[in-house]
Structure 1
Amino acid sequence: MAIDLTVPPRPGPLLVGYSGGLDSSVLLHRLATLPALRTRGLRALHVHHGLHPEADAWAAHCQEVCEGLGVPLHTVRVQVDPKGLGVEGAARAARHAAFRDALAEDEILALAHHRDDQAETFLLRALRGSGVDGLAAMRSWQPYAHGWLWRPLLHLPRRALTHYAQAHGLRWLEDPANADPRFDRTFLRRHVLPLLATRWPQAAENFARSAALSAQAADLLEAEDDALLATAQITADTLRIDILRAQPQMRQARLLRRWVEQRGLPPLPGHALAHIQRELLDAPHDAKARFDWHGARIQRWRGLLHASPLRAPLAREWETRWDGRTPLMLPTGDVLHLLGSTGFEAPLCAHARRGGERIRLPGRRHSHALKHVLQALAVPPWERERMPLLSTADGQVLAAGDRVLSAAFSQWLQARGARLLWTRLA
């Protein structure tokens, strides 16, 4: 039995996610037999989860099959931490992290999801109370990491893959987890969908069609969301509150979710949207309201919402000596560089802000409170918390990050054609 595949919408080499199971075995074999796709460049990736005693044997099987097909295989070992997501969810997250790390610029990741997988995903998300975005389930083509994600088998039922594998004498692995009803997806596959099919034979096909229709609706809504976000965003991580508040609450929620997604932050939990609308959008203008979740933070400041990964401040007691000859790594992961000079004549003291510091700016006769200078420059509070200071041995402040330079230090840098650079962790 033949399986017809459409050509990917874009040119580029292919990376096949290859578990050794039936689905990915069919996909790998079919792609390897298509000269037009092989000439693009074809390689495979096997993710070794280490969850089963036979995991090493599975990796060896995948290597043997790929050698027989003449397809290079890269095996990646991952750590699966079930806390929070459970085994199934944590394994999926680890697998996709490996895919993202392996995918080259403009490379296409090909995965073997099929129509029955789509039906299962639709049902799972419906049972979790997902909206139209969630019910859109899996897309056949979408941007992914540095390249693209392609699911060429999404229109085919599982039985078509089984017929193909048998007709071509393929060998594949059977993961015992696929028969364990403790996993939600397996329970649907083994018990719920077969029961539904006894009364509605086209149930899986219709669920997949509903997912496709949901995807069309979601695409239309996303286009409107993106147009509104373009008017509301000052930078990628800032959003104008006045424009957001002018929208109905349902549109506010969509814009917030879309914004967070575009920033590459974890999805907002269910209770987050009501909290943000109540505590941040309606907060007093000068309030330092914020919402933290899963290592990320949205906070209000000066009429804007700011979204970013959650970063630790520079500890108040931190200080060290720095001669400027090599970059200075800060405890926060940020780095100070002295560019264009071999170093300072005498080491300077690099330290955290402790309050009460003063600095004399270029062209000024008197010193000013550093706090007021930073406020006048609109330096956000979270940036001030991470900002390293440079001072002389007798405590004279020379620089606050690379945002504020004293008159004396600015003159020293100019005389040498040098500059100070504070590289912040993204």
Structure 2
Amino acid sequence: MNAAALPDHLESALAALAPGPLCVGYSGGLDSLALLHALASLPAARARGLSAIHVDHGLHADSADWALHCQAVAAGLQLPLRIVRVAVPRASGDGLEAAARAARLDAFRRHLPADAILVLAHHANDQTETVLLKLLRGAGPEGLRGMRALRPLGTHLLWRPLLALPRATLQAYAQAQALQWIDDPSNADTRHARNFLRQAVLPLLRTRWPRLDTTIAHSARWQEAAAAQLDRDAAIALAQLQGLDPATLDWTGWLGLGDALRPLTLRIWLRGLGLPPPEHVHIEQLQQQLRRADDDRNPCVSWSGPDGSNAELRRYRDLVYALAPQPAPPPDWEQRWDGRGTLTLPGGGGTLSLTPPPDAALDLTVRLRRGGERLRPVGHAHSRELRDLLQQAGIPPWLRGRLPIVYGGGELLAVADLWQTARAEALFGGTLQFRPAVPVPPRD
């Protein structure tokens, strides 16, 4: 194996990369060391401000010594190195391996230098493992395309320039350069799925199919093309189905999409809203509930993301609403308010204010809906039940109990910034502004 193949490959790949400083994710192992050392030999890489970042997971007794070793290697290459220590939750439902990966990526996102491109040493053998693991987990084209050579990572870019090279190329380079690397004993622990595949399964498969890595990489490229086409089709479908409120989706149109487009369109929609992606089981639950629920029911599906964030989807009338769940406010909450300051509502319910504030302090009481409220809105000939007004306005049921209701002198004056009485209009002398944590749809 030609040891010069690695720097030659990197030099060619670097010439096609967008401008930006390079920061190598350096674990201390053979792969990342070979990548860092080869890049350090290229003037074009150094001219970009080459640096490295090491994440200490604290999962091994020698992890602190490993960090010192990485520091010494970086110093020998005259490269800056940032060491980030993280706490990996050992009781994660996704397993220790997945929890460590998530903690590492989060550390990269938070500690990369501004505008830096994160460079990782994943190679063709890693790609084979990734595709097979995705296949065993029932992934579709989006997962079976494997790792991408270039993708966003928060506000940064993640670059994997070695996906076309076998690990043997990196090993030949490291041996030719007499490099010293760390052997993490956890890499031999076959209780981890990737290690089991690497140690027990793939060597056997390669004895029967020696071109396994090449053929799987070829399949991954086909899946990449299929996934890219599906992404384009899903973006078109989303543009047609998303409501005026971006957090809403036409559910009948969504159910009418093909099996390949339906989950992808949903995930793209939720990703754009900053909500965690659902698993297959949650999408299946949503489909079943939407198809089976009567018109007067409001189905709801909720889940947690790998970072601990939560999301839920609720149906009301023709739309599915996506939102981050909020704690239920106390039903008997009540607060005196003079109309001058900004009133913070309970349970993360938002704020209430008057613009401009009144010249004289008002004697107001703000509470949440308790049932049976009535008022006569400006422009209405008779008083109306608040329940009827909310239904006619299309306010989803889960938002109705969060609307601030303003009283003065024992009389209901206003409901958020949706309705107010003639007396309220004269008394306030300004505009009542309700800024909810969860947006309230405009009235029909």
TM-score (norm 1): 0.86
User: Which residue does 1:142 correspond to in 2?
Assistant: 151
2:307 is matched with none
Structure 1 residues 364 and 40, CA gap change in structure 2 (3 angstroms): farther
Residue 420 (1) aligns with residue 433 (2): yes
1:23 counterpart residue number: 31
Q: 1:109 Cα deviation (Å)?
A: 2.5
> Secondary structure of 1:148's match?
strand
Aligned-pair CA distance for 1:328: 4.8
Q: Distance in 1 between matches of 2:344 and 2:212?
A: 58
Displacement after TM superposition at 1:64 (Å):
3.4
Q: How far, CA to CA, are the matches of 1:385 and 1:325 in structure 2? A: 24
Q: Of residues 310, 320, 328 in structure 2, which corresponds to 1:313?
A: 328
The CA deviation at 1:43 is: 4.1
**Pick from 284, 289, 294: which aligns with 1:274?**
284
Partner of 2:400: 384
Return the offset for 1:186: 0.7
Of 344-353 and 310-319, deviating more is: 344-353
Instruction: State the secondary structure of the residue aligned to 1:20.
Output: coil
> 1:251-400 alignment to 2 at 5 Å?
251-281=261-291, 283-294=293-304, 295-321=310-336, 328-336=343-351, 338=353, 345=361, 348-364=364-380, 367-392=383-408, 394-400=409-415
3-state SS of paired residue (1:271): helix
Q: Which amino acid aligns with 1:122?
A: V
Distance 1:94 1:366 in 2: 59
Aligned mates of 1:330, 1:65 — CA distance in 2? 55
SS of equivalent residue, structure 1 residue 386: coil
Task: Report the Cα offset of residue 377 of structure 1.
Answer: 3.1
Q: Which moved more, 1:9-18 or 1:117-126?
A: 9-18
CA 203–143 in structure 1, closer or farther in 2 if over 3 Å, else same: same
After TM superposition, give the deviation of residue 286 of structure 1 in Å: 3.7
Q: Does 1:80 align with 2:95?
A: no
In the TM superposition, 1:15-94 aligns within 5 A as: 15-68=23-76, 69-94=78-103
What's the C-alpha RMSD, in Å, of the aligned pairs? Answer: 3.1
Q: Is the 8 A contact 1:32 1:71 kept in 2?
A: no
The 2-side partners of 1:355 and 1:237 are apart by: 27
CA contact (8 A) 1:280 1:290 kept: no
75-84 or 131-140, which deviates more: 75-84
**1:143 partner SS:** strand
Tell me what 2:22 maps to.
14
Hey, what does 2:242 align to over in structure 1? 233
Unaligned runs of 5+ in 2: 305-309, 440-444
Sort the Cα spacing of 1:419 and 1:88 in 2 relative to 1 into closer, same or farther, 3 A.
same
Would the alpha carbon gap of residues 410 and 186 (structure 1) be closer, same or farther in structure 2, given more than 3 Å must change? farther
Letter matched to residue 290 of structure 1: C
| 1:179 CA drift (Å) | 0.9
Instruction: Determine which of 130, 135, 139 is the counterpart of 1:130.
Output: 139
Q: Specify whether residues 198 and 250 from structure 1 end up closer, same or farther in structure 2 by C-alpha distance, changes over 3 A only.
A: closer
**Between Structure 1 and Structure 2, how many residues are aligned?**
423
- Superimposed CA distance per residue, residues 256-293 of structure 1 (whole angstroms, 9 cap, x where no aligned partner): 34434444433333333333223214544443122222
The residue aligned with 1:244 is 254
Secondary structure in 2 matching 1:332: helix
Aligned partners of 1:49 and 1:80 also within 8 Å: no
Indicate how the Cα distance of structure 1 residues 356 and 49 shifts in structure 2: closer, same or farther if over 3 A, else same: farther
Query: Given residue 356 of structure 1, which amino acid in structure 2 is its aligned partner?
Result: G
Moved more, 313-322 or 50-59: 313-322
Give the Å deviation of 1:61. 3.0
TM-score norm. by structure 2 comes to: 0.83
Secondary structure of the 2:92 match is coil
Indicate the percent of aligned positions where both proteins have the same amino acid: 42
Q: Could you tell me how far apart the structure 2 residues matched to 1:326 and 1:37 are?
A: 56
Contact map agreement 2:366 2:404 (CA 8 A) in 1: yes
Single out whichever of 113-122 and 100-109 deviates more from structure 2.
100-109
- In the TM superposition, residue 206 of structure 1 has moved relative to its aligned partner by 2.1
Per the TM alignment, residue 87 of structure 1 is displaced from its structure 2 partner at its CA by: 0.8
Change (3 A) 1:358 1:60: farther
Distance change in 2, residues 1:390/1:127 (3 Å): same
